Structure 1
Amino acid sequence: MALIATSFGRHSTAAEVVKGIDLSGKRAIVTGAASGIGIETARALALTGAEVTLAVRNTYAGAQTAADITTTTGNQNIHVAPLDLSSQESIAKFVAAWNGPLHILVNNAGVMALPKQHTSEGWEMQFATNHLGHFALALGLHDALAADGAARIVSVSSSGHLASPVVFDDIHFAFRPYDPLLAYAQSKTANILFAVGATMRWFGDGITANALMPGAIVTNLQRYTGGLKTLPEHRKTPEQGAATSVLLATSPLLDGISGRYFEDCNEAMIVTNGNGYVSGVAPYALNSDNADRLWEESLQLNRNLDYHD
């Protein structure tokens, strides 16, 4: 199977990727859209004429972002809705409030390298926020996505996934010493496996799902790591970091493409070792058996919510 290649690369911006694309009448949700690459992802989608909902924890910051996006794009259809991905109650309220079809869901929000924390359910916080929250959101919005017949889910992962598979026998660090970077890594592997699992289950509903590595961008995501460790020449601006997300959300080149992993606006190669955690995708992150196991585990953890599995 040939890798998807485009004319865009690591220096491309989100605005360049969406140039000439018209999504008037389409509706998009971007989680974590009040900071970092989430802002630029939402802004680029607004440039296409799409109606964009910023799903954010901080609605004050979200309102400021929405106003700025309207000013810079002229798009008046920018909305803000509260969403805390670590709270099942918050996710359920967001889903219940959504009406009508949904064409693009960008699972962008995330946390990184947190000190050891657990949700009220006892779930490790990074896995709960980065994977289980987005899993619950996507399942809750399944019917809205299926109503379109050609909807897209974009799952923002990281090259950090190369540091660890999902450790199914101890996802929540009940028995092994907690390591914040390994906890982050397995949650990012889960983001890719979600795209694989959704493809196996929902492709027939007209829903595609792909995952990506945005690149090294200085944002508040690194507040627990002492800042970005990447060399300055390898870093991206937020506008460049949002480009791959926006490509997966909008490009005609991705019509009917699902269950794959991209970086620098092109599909990534499978690597057989961690290669310094720089690029490529680990085989375990695209493995269909792992995707099935994660899906079933996630359903079990979320068993109290009403989903379509």
Structure 2
Amino acid sequence: MKTTLLKKIFASCFLLTFLNVPYSAMAQEDLLGTIKEDESEAKKDFVQATFKGTRVINFHTSEVLGKRTLDFRISHRFGEFNSGSENAYGLDGPASIRLGLEYSYDGRLMAGFGRSSYQKQFDGFVKFRWLRQTENNSMPISLTLFTSAFATMQKDPNKASSGFDKYENFSSRMSFVHQIIVARKFSPSISAQIAPVMVHYNLVDEFTDLNDMFFIAAAGRVKITKRLAVTAEYAYKLRDFTKTKDYFNPLGIGIDIETGGHVFQMHVTNAFGIADNQFYPYNTSSWKDNGIRLGFNVSRVFTL
């Protein structure tokens, strides 16, 4: 009888344990589900490719290279259309070219350097993506900080006549550009950005010229197909910084063509200089006088 009683007790315990397993499993699944939901809510889906590359035409975009990505860039500007048929409407030159190498390790901080033929200039920059637009609009914009330094290696053209070398001190060769780039992708096809820009030259041509120059730069992109987009950029000078020469606001219109690891950009612009310290303040060509030129940028990206 004791054996029968023990069997009944054991069977009852087993039955209760067995019946309790599904409830315990369901409770664990509910907990895991809650954790996953919290993780999903915490995870932010960032907007991708506000602009296809790190440049619109001349202007920097809000984009930063991806993690451990190296970008080799070639930028070329031909001569002006108004040079006539004898000069193949600028294709014969004079031309300016810039070679650049840029890298990002973590996808947020990016650095680069380059060499421009115009004014025999070296440049270096740092770019940091501070804010990034999200799909759910919890962050409606992307915000990127940009700072750069430039050094011209050209000789003083007036040294022989004046007997004085204006580049005697190396600091006189230096100039700087700082920007805060605010961008937004409004739809899969339309993106735009705006940026306050400050340009500083340690040495200016005339005593009355200002060392600090300020601009508002705007740019946009309209995607036509999966691999083709139309771009435009324009910078407005906030105040005159010289009384001795006329300089014109830079304006460019172009197309982006994506081909695998290459991004090929063709454009028309009135800017001859390719570096930021050149095309923002000291642009001597005007669209009104056909002072525009063909140009292209080629970008080749490597993942290291």
- TM score, norm. by length of structure 1: 0.29
Higher Cα radius of gyration: 2
- TM score, norm. by length of structure 2: 0.29
Structure ranking higher in helix proportion: 1
Higher relative contact order structure (alpha carbons within 8 Å, sequence separation ≥ 6): 1
